[in-house]
Each structure stands twice: as structure tokens, then as C-alpha cells.
Amino acid sequence: MLAWILGFLLVPVFGVILYFLIGERKVRRRARRKRKRRVYILQALHSEAWATEKEDLEFKPKEPGPLDLDPSLLKLAEVSEKLGDFPLSMGNKVEIFTSAREIYGDLLRAIDGAKHHVHLEYYIFRPDETGRLFRDLLVKKAKAGVEVRLLLDGIGSWGTWWSFLRPLIDAGGLVETFLPAVPLRSRWHINCRNHRKIVLIDGEVAFLGSQNIGDEYRGRLRRLGPWSDTHLRIEGPAARELQEVFVEDWYFASREDLVSSKYLRRQPAKGDSMVQIVPSGPDQDEGVLQHILFSAISLAQKSIRIGTPYFVPDPGLILALQHAAFRGIKVEVLIPSRTDSRLVLWAGRSFYQELIRSGVRIHEFDHGMLHSKTVSIDDRWSLIGSANMDVRSFLLNFEVTASVFDEKISKKLADDFGTHLEESREISPCSNPPGPFFASLLEGAARLFTPLL
């Protein structure tokens, strides 16, 4: 607020224009209106013969599954449900992928096997070789009679021109832009972006995580080297909840209402993983991810592992990590030293020493772009999705994350984390902070922009 006031006083015209473009942090899909849509969806599903009672969709701690959880994890699930839209769901089959070849291979096979519909929602969908590979497969499925819907962010996919998407549209596929950046379009916005990466196949198989569609996500940018992402494939009740996230976003962008048994059919149990889908964004009154992270870090008993490509913590996250380290918890943060955003890297480095002095161990990965966005607590609970550890993901972007209560997934994440640590260097505490003058100057200047990063 003080920064904006100062801007208005020093550069009145430019300050007003800038505020008009990026000053608004809320998207006019207010939480109250969103709750009404949630009630509408439940009522619509309840009215169909196949739907279960509304109570069956709500979180019940008395059911056998959640009772197997540690009481602290149950509390975490309750916090997530109160702040988010979905309860903890049982009976999910979850597979985790940590390489582009695995992710793209499984995703392409799933799309190729679609029988009724394919829904895709991406922040970035490049018009390059990888993008053409996916586009051509979607064209093939659309020509075969499969419903194809592709939702792209107005800024992230700015360079994906309609000429590139024309073959898909001509084949019968539907393409929409989420919050266009052009003021002449309705529902336009510059600052708040849809950062989600979602694919749904026939409402039964769901994918979410950190990987977009583009050549760089296959490690084809030489300056960044190999590219690492983490993605989930989910089958079971949580897939239906992720479908609901897409249905809401598609309705917001296109006004096409997909609330029907064709798209939101209740899914049977497919495995033994407990998963909670956590959508977050500027249409919510509370910072959902901030509260969940603060709760999870506070409940940690042994270890906290955070992997993120962009680390610009807010004061609440800094305090939570410091407090955990003071309690004797092993806190490790893994960040790539090669990045496509130097400003964010410098801003993040300005926080290193105050965290290191409290006992937090920070590592920089030097062998490529570590784009995974993961949190693991005590090897029992994991957070995997599209959100970075920065103010933009906490408050400005639409994100979607899977809160996974599964020790097998957590241990696999821990193994992957350990592998990357072997190729990383730990940041040492500075004996005379703030360190070298020029580096400190860059980091301090970048830190001024943290509310926008």
C-alpha cells in the first residue's frame, strides 16, 4: 500500500496506469459467488439419479480410512477443507513422475486412449515441436468424435497464436483463453494468471503438477540444461474433484456449463492413497496455500523438504521455517541456480542468510533447471502441484495442488530430493553479512519487487 501511495505521489500518471494494469489483486470471481456455484453444482448432481447424497462428498473423520492417519495429519486435512473446496478423499491410485519422458509418454498414451472427452488447462502451451505433437494428437481425437477442450492462460500462452490452434478448432475442438491480456476482451486481467497444469481423460484419469507443454520442459534450452519436473497421475475420487476445478475454470472463461453426469460422474476407489485437491487463487478471501503450508510446517516432527524453482518467501513462511529449525526439525530447501528469471533468483537469495542463521539448510542445484514444486513433511505428507514458494503463487495466481497423505509417495519424493541434493551445493553462512557488495546490491534491489514476484 505504501509503495503504491509513493508511486502515485512521485509519478501520478504512470502510477495510476500501472495500478490499473497490475494493482488489483482480486479477480471478480469472489469467494461468495464461487460458494454459490459450489452449492449449485452439488444440487445439480444430487438431482441426477447417479449422484450420491451431498453428505457423501464431505469429510468425515469417523470413517475407517482417515482414522489410520496421525491426529496431526487429520487436523491438517480439516484445515485444508475449511479453507479450500474439497474434502480428503480415499481410494485413489497415485503415480508420481519426475522426468519429462515419463510424464509426456504417459500423458500422450492417456489422451490417445480417451473415449469421450479430453480436458486440458495449461499456463504455457508452446507452438513448438512438443506443442505440435500434442496439438496433432488432440486434432486426431477431435476428428474421431472425442470432445476436446483446451484452456490457456492469456499471458503464459501469449505466443501461441490462433493460426497454430486452427487445425484443432477446425476439427471440432474448443479453445478458450483464461483472463485475456487485451483490455478490449471481457474478463481481462494482467496481474492475476492461471498457473494451473491440468489434464483430465474421460473424467477418470487426472494429471496435475508443474510441467507445461513446450520444448524447454524436455530440457531443450541449452542455457538451462536438463529440466526436472514433478507430475502426478491420479485415478479415483480425487480425479472427479480435479474435473470440478476444470469445469469451474472453463465456465469462468467460456460460460459453457459442464455440470452434468457426462463430466462429473463419481469415481470408484482405484487405490489406497488419500488425496485432497487444493485449488487456490485470487478469487478466494484467504491465502489458502499460506495457511496450509504454515499448518504443515508447524505440525512437522522430524523433517521438512521444500523443492521450488522460485523462492521468494513472505514473512509468515520465513517465521514458520525459522521456528521449525529452532525446534530441531531438519529443514532443507532446494532451489536451482540456473533459472529463467534472474530477478526472482536474486530476490530469493536476499532471504538466505536470515534463514540459514536459524538452522535452515539451503541448497542450490547447479545441474539444470529444477522446476518441481514439492513439499514433504516427515516423509508422511506431500504437497505437489503448480505453486511456487512466492507471493505470486500464494496470492496472485490460480494454482492447483494435491495434498497427498501417502508414505510411499512421500518416500519417493524424498529419494528424488536426495538425488538432487547430491548434485547441489549447500549455501554457507556469511561471517560478515550481507556479503559481497555487488551481489548484496542486486539482491537488495530485487527484494524490493517481492510483492509482485
Among 133-137, 305-309, 334-338, name the one with the lowest average pLDDT.
334-338
pLDDT of residue 446: 61
Assign residue 361 the CATH number of its domain.
Answer: 3.30.870.10
Burial zone of 159 (CB within 10 Å; 0-12 exposed, 13-18 middle, 19+ buried): exposed
Determine contact, residues 280/399, Cβ cutoff 8 Å: yes
State which of 274, 300, 327 marks the end of a domain: 274
Per-residue pLDDT tens over the stretch 312-323: 998 899 999 999
CA separation for the pair 286, 290 (Å, rounded): 9
Percent of the chain at pLDDT exceeding 90 = 55
Query: Which run of H or E residues covers position 304?
Result: strand 303-307
Residues 122, 213 contacting (CB under 8 angstroms): yes
Domain end position, chosen among 242, 274, 306: 274
Give Cα separations from 397 to 4, 113, 229, 281 (angstroms): 20, 32, 19, 5
Residues 215 and 172 in one domain: yes
pTM value? 0.86
Pair 298, 263 in one domain: no
- pLDDT tens-digit series, residues 368-414: 889 999 999 999 999 999 999 988 898 889 999 999 999 999 999 99
pLDDT at residue 69, rounded to an integer:
72
Q: Are strands 330-336 and 361-365 parallel, antiparallel or unpaired?
A: parallel
3-class secondary-structure state, position 42: helix
**309 in the same domain as 393:** yes
What pLDDT does 441 receive?
A: 64
By CB atoms closer than 10 A (0-12, 13-18, 19+), residue 288 is buried
In a domain, 366, yes or no: yes
363 and 330 in one domain?
A: yes
User: Do 257 and 338 fall into the same domain?
Assistant: no
Residue 14 falls within a domain, yes or no? no
Residue-wise pLDDT tens digits, 124-153: 999 999 999 999 999 999 999 999 999 999
C-alpha–C-alpha distance, residues 238 and 266, integer Å: 10
Range 173-192 average pLDDT:
76
Domain membership of residue 130 (yes or no) is yes
The total domain count for the chain is 2
Cα–Cα distance measured from residue 311 to residue 289, given in angstroms and rounded to the nearest whole number: 14
Catalytic positions: 195, 197, 202, 371, 373, 378
Residue whose C-alpha cell reads 505437489 in the numeric block? 384
Both 106 and 134 in a single domain? yes
Indicate if the pLDDT at residue 81 is higher than 90: no
CA dihedral (168, 171, 172, 175) in degrees, to 10, reads 10
Q: Say whether both 62 and 126 belong to one domain.
A: yes
**Domain that residue 147 falls in:** 31-69+91-274
| 392 part of a folded domain | yes
